[in-house]
Structure 1
Amino acid sequence: MKIAFACQDCKGWESIISPHFGKCAFFVIVRKTEEGFQIIEEIPNPYQNSAPLPGALPAFLKEKGVNLVVAGGMGKKAQDFFNEWGIKFLVGVKGKIKEILPYLEENRKED
């Protein structure tokens, strides 16, 4: 499973979740394995400073093979794209990536 965390900064496990998916500065891509979690990529949001392009950012993460997106908030259009493509999302999240991992470990065992 590949998880994209929408973050305000790029500090590995210390990265802070962004309050809004589309305006995040970075994505920290994490792979969940039987052994635990591993950061596999940290990338700037290519659309952070551009005019809104509905579907562009969800398509970008789809191309990366992401199965789950974690953000503080997310607009309905982005949610609709993810739903259409079978990509799960978790919103209302605050804090650092390392603080969210125990929740994902406990509640996503079926993935």
Structure 2
Amino acid sequence: MKICVPSANNGGLDDMVGQHFGMVPTYTVMDIEHNLVEIVGNTSEHNGGVGLPPELLSKKGVNIMLCGGLGQKAVDMFNEYGIDVFIGAQGTVETAINDWKEGNLVNPTSENVCQGHGHDEDQH
């Protein structure tokens, strides 16, 4: 199983969780069965590339996306690619993964998704 966390900088377990999943420079992908970490550059159209993050990450075999928060459209896109989303991730990438393992992150609902790009980033 591969878990992905948007990374604020260069990626890795010690990097901070990026709070705008589509605009982060990298994604940290952890294969929890083999304890392997892969850093994936964000080559999506949000950063001048092609495609959208859910498509990019599905090609890397990601099963679960952990992030601070995201909108319903993004949640729907991840679901279309068979990627489960959990929100509430904060701190380092490693902290977010541990929080998920402990059941501290939640699935997005209509009550807790971001309502657009004008949201306060500090609330995630």
Q: TM-score range by the shorter chain?
A: 0.7 to 0.9
Are 2:48 and 1:50 equivalent residues in the alignment?
A: yes
Question: Which residue of 2 is the match for residue 2 of structure 1?
Answer: 2
Name the aligned partner's letter for residue 70 of structure 2.
M
For 1:23 and 1:46, the matched residues in 2 are separated by 10
**Structure 1: gaps of 5 or more residues:** none
What are the residue-to-residue correspondences of 1:10-29 with 2, within 5 Å? 10-29=10-29
For 2:47 and 2:26, the matched residues in 1 are separated by 12
Name the TM-score, length of structure 1 as normaliser. Answer: 0.78
Are 2:65 and 1:72 equivalent residues in the alignment?
A: no
C-alpha displacement of 1:11: 4.6
Q: In structure 2, do the counterparts of structure 1 residues 45 and 11 end up closer, same or farther at CA, with 3 Å as the change threshold? A: closer
- Greater fraction of residues in helix: 1
How many residues of Structure 1 are paired with residues of Structure 2 in the alignment?
103
**Structure 2: gaps of 5 or more residues:** 104-124
Greater relative contact order: 1 or 2 (C-alpha under 8 angstroms, separation 6 or more)?
1
Name the aligned partner's letter for residue 15 of structure 2.
S
- CA offsets 1:58-84 (integer angstroms, 9 cap, x no match): 111111110001112223222111122
Higher mean C-alpha deviation, range 1-10 or range 96-105: 96-105
Question: Which residue of 1 is the match for residue 85 of structure 2?
Answer: 89
Cα RMSD for the two superposed structures = 2.3
Q: In structure 2, do the counterparts of structure 1 residues 10 and 59 end up closer, same or farther at CA, with 3 Å as the change threshold? A: same
For 1:101 and 1:72, the matched residues in 2 are separated by 12
